[in-house]
Each structure stands twice: as structure tokens, then as C-alpha cells.
Structure 1
Amino acid sequence: MNRVINVGYGEHTPERTPFLNATASAKLRTEIDEQLDQQVVEWYANVSEAAHLEGKNVDSEYYKRNLIETAWRIRMLRVAEAKALVEIAKVSPEAAQVWANYEQEEMLHDELFIADLEKVGVSREQFLATEPYLSTKLLSGYFSYLLDHEGPLGVVAYSYLVEYVNVKLEPRKLEALKGSVGESNIGGQINHSHTDVNEDHPGEVWEAVRHLLRSEDDIAAFKRYLREHQTILGQYFEELHRDTIAKAEKQSA
């Protein structure tokens, strides 16, 4: 008896054909996108200053700290996302191939945000000296929990959430930032957005998702992961608001 397991075949992964055919996959993706659209509505309704960066009067400390935190989030999460590749390869070589390509395209995008920070007076040394928020650490910790105890699907779900929302909302935010911050100062963010759109990152991540979904239970879990990730991201933006805009308002009162 061959003892080799966890390489994408055998009794532990009995079916290499996706659980969802092309038609069912497209139908589910539409359903998932509708869920995310509703989550966006809830986000704007419930998160403090959720649309702040889309306004004309952007608080400079809020803007800078969000860039700092975004760069740290990429740096911290890419460690867990690289570990996720190992777990994905154990169950689906096809999903692993897609995920590896996606990570290759995203891996160094922290540098795009750091470049924009330098344009508004925050040096690389200042960035490195700024410890990430607790909410960012908790998100990274949640990734580790998922890989240890539930598998890689929840990690991939995060990327689908952020890629779908970024492609849908980032152009509007960037257009607003051109007026409030200056187009010459947001080149890194523009390049990041162009990659998401031109490389169809939502579609790319969905291909990995499709190969990882093996049952109705997996589909239910995927929907739950999307909600849980949004909850943690909401905690970050509440923390960001308290540390910048709310603090400034309290000091000036």
C-alpha cells in the first residue's frame, strides 16, 4: 500500500474534478458577489468614516496611517498566504498553481504603498518604526488559526473579498484622492489597482476557490469566512478612526 498522502490525489482527495461545474460555479459566484455587495452597504452604514478617503477633505494622519497599515498588512499576511500554498497543494494542485501565480503578482505590493508614503513625508524608517495596530495582528493571527485548524479555504476567501471590493470601489476612491492628495502622490496605489483590474484578480482567486470547494459545507463555510473577515477589517477601520480623526477632534474640543 502506498503511504503517500496530501499530494492532491487518493482517498483524502478522491475527486480532482471540481465539485462545481462551470455553470454552477458561475451561479455561485454571482450569489457570493451579491453577498459582498450587501456587505459593502453594511460597511458604509456601520463603520465610522467608512467613506472618508472618498471625500474632499481627507485627514492627513488618517491617510498616512492607512497607507502604513496597508503595507504592514501585506507584509504580515503574505507569510500566512505563502504557508497556505503548502496546504492548498495537498488538496488541489490546480488551485495551488493559480494561488502561486496570484501571490507572485501580489507579493511585493507593500512597496507601492511605501513609495506613496514617502511622497507625503513618511520615510521608510518611520514606517518601519510604526508598530501595526492590534486589529492587523489579529487578522494575521486569524489566518494562522485557519491554516492550523480549518484549512486554507478561509485564507483564500479573504483575497476574494478584498479583490472583489477593490476592483469595485478602488477606482472611485482613487479618483477622489487625485483631488484631495494629488495624482502625483498616489502612483503606487494606482499601480496596485491597475494590477487588480488588468490581471483580473477576482477571477483568478475565484478559480482557486472553485478547486477548493468540495461540498455544500465548504460553500457555507466560504460565505461565513467572508463575513468574519469583514468584521475584523471593520475593527481595523474603527481603530484607525479612533487613533486619528477622533483623537484630533477630542484634542481640539
Structure 2
Amino acid sequence: MSRVRLENLAAEYMEREFDRVPRMRELHEGTWIERDYYVRHIVETVLRIRLNNEVDTYALFRVGSKDDSLAANLAKYLAEEFGHEHMFTRDLVRFGFPVEQLDRTPVFPSTNKLMGFLRLAADKEGPAPTTVWDWFVEWYSDRYNQIITTRAAEEFGADLVRGSQTHIEFDTTHDHDDLMFRVVSRAVETWSTAATAESYLDTFVSLIGDYFGELHAATARDRGQGQDQDQDRDRSSAQLVSS
């Protein structure tokens, strides 16, 4: 399985989604950010990490004793990832988004589809689909997360992205991109095929594009409702003055 080909496909699929969801491109290029949008993005990040840990654990279970080397590396990755959502949660609290509200927030439909797909695909191809997803997450983080976090720090203040920055630095020092490529290569070689892995990657990136579309639609609607409420208050004040 060629790492160069996989990286090139990931970049190609991301470009396709950037064209489909323009705000997604602007966020990832660091040319645009908005507070409600960013906060809801971090909320989904936390909720997705929680679910992702569960599907990774299930993938590890599917390996069982069939491949001790693969199981050990996947377990190492899991051990280093568990609890990382708390880094982002602390940022959310600083934004004024309490943990109680976070726990009540439902995930977007695209996240449900992604996690459901991973869970069901593990029954058919063991850890291969999940490791392709995990590799993509690490590739994505290396390529885009610093850009997004730097822009957020400029816009909202470095203190509000402290957890996000810590997470980036952790992944960098632990070489998670390299680790997960070794894991995905072995998983695909043993349980699947390169062509199937590439089709999984295509599906995952399409769902990420769907997510960013849902994110923009939801936060734009919330902003619109707030503006409507402000206009209603302005009209009510004007009527009181005129009366």
C-alpha cells in the first residue's frame, strides 16, 4: 500500500469537498473563522472523539489474537488518544460552553453516519476501515489543524485555544501520523485490499464534507435567528417610542 498515493488521494478528495462547501475551504486555508461556527466545531470534535474511541475499541476487539503486532500498535494508539477530548472541553468552558450543555448536544447526522459505518464495517473487514479513518484523522490534523487553531487564536485569543494547541503538539511529538500508517498498512494487508481502503477513504472524506456543510447551515441559522430577535426588539422599541 503506497503512502504517497493515499496522501495524494486524501488531498484530492479534500479539494473536491472544498469546492462543494466553500466555507470549509476558507476555514482550512485560514482566511475565515466565526465564533459560533468554531465553538460548535470544537463541540463536535469532542463528541466525535468519544464515539471514535468506542469504534476503535471495537476494531481492536475484532483483531482479537489474530495479529498480535497489529493489536499492540492499535492499542498503543488508543492508549495515547483516550482522554484527549478533555483538552478541547477545557477550551469550550473558557468560551462559556459548559460541560452540561456539551453532554446534551446531539451530534450532526454525518457523524452518526460515519460512526455507524465504522461500527458495521468492522464486522466485515475487521480493523481495516477504522484504521483508514484513524490514519486520515492524523493526516488531516498535521495538514490543517494548526492553520485553524492559529486563526482562532488570532481572532479569539490564545487562551481560548490552549487545549487545541496542546493536542496538536502531543500528536506531533508522538508521531501519530507515522504510527497510524504502519497500522493501516498492516490492517489492509491482512484484512482488506488497497482498492477497498481507497474507497473507504473516499467515503470518509465525503462525510467530512457533509459535516462541514451541516455545521455552516446550523450556525448560520442560529446567527440568523439571533439577528431576527434583535430586529424584533428594535421594532418593539420603535413602536414604544412612537406611541
Using structure 1 for the length normalisation, give the TM-score. 0.83
Mapped partners of 1:53, 1:209: distance in 2 = 25
- The 8 Å contact of residues 14 and 205 in structure 2, kept in 1 or not, is answered as no
> Which residue pairs with 1:35 in the alignment?
9
The one of 189, 196, 199 aligned to 1:214:
189
- Mean alpha-carbon deviation: is it higher for 126-135 or for 241-250? 241-250
> Which residue pairs with 1:81 in the alignment?
56
**AA matched with 1:99:** L
Q: CA deviation at 1:150?
A: 2.9
> Which residue pairs with 2:85 in the alignment?
110
The one of 132, 136, 145 aligned to 2:107:
132
> Which residue pairs with 1:22 in the alignment?
none
**AA matched with 1:154:** P
Q: CA deviation at 1:102?
A: 0.6
Question: Which of the two has greater helix per residue?
Answer: 2
Mapped partners of 2:115, 2:207: distance in 1 = 10
Mapped partners of 1:137, 1:194: distance in 2 = 28
Q: CA deviation at 1:214?
A: 2.6
**AA matched with 2:16:** E
The one of 16, 41, 59 aligned to 2:34:
59
> Which residue pairs with 1:248 in the alignment?
223
> Which residue pairs with 1:205 in the alignment?
180
**AA matched with 1:175:** T
- The 8 Å contact of residues 129 and 197 in structure 2, kept in 1 or not, is answered as yes
The one of 107, 116, 121 aligned to 2:96:
121
> Which residue pairs with 1:157 in the alignment?
132
Mapped partners of 2:191, 2:67: distance in 1 = 17
Q: CA deviation at 1:180?
A: 0.8
Mapped partners of 1:235, 1:90: distance in 2 = 36
Mapped partners of 2:4, 2:18: distance in 1 = 21
> Which residue pairs with 1:232 in the alignment?
207
Cα distance per residue 1:192-230 (max 9 Å; x no partner): 111221111110011111222337961111111111111
Q: CA deviation at 1:111?
A: 0.7
Mapped partners of 1:88, 1:35: distance in 2 = 27
- The 8 Å contact of residues 57 and 180 in structure 1, kept in 2 or not, is answered as no
Mapped partners of 2:99, 2:62: distance in 1 = 33
**AA matched with 1:174:** T
Q: CA deviation at 1:76?
A: 1.2
Mapped partners of 2:67, 2:22: distance in 1 = 40
Mapped partners of 1:48, 1:70: distance in 2 = 20
Q: CA deviation at 1:177?
A: 1.3
Aligned to 2:23, the other structure's residue is in SS state: coil
Mapped partners of 1:200, 1:40: distance in 2 = 22
Larger radius of gyration: 2
**Cα 1:208–1:128, aligned 2, differ >3 Å: closer, same or farther?**
same
Structure 1: give runs of 5+ residues left out of the alignment. Answer: 1-24
Q: CA deviation at 1:58?
A: 2.8
Q: CA deviation at 1:142?
A: 0.8
1:145 partnered with 2:120:
yes
Give the aligned CA root-mean-square deviation in angstroms: 2.1
Q: CA deviation at 1:151?
A: 2.2
Q: CA deviation at 1:145?
A: 1.0
**AA matched with 1:80:** V
Mapped partners of 1:251, 1:48: distance in 2 = 23
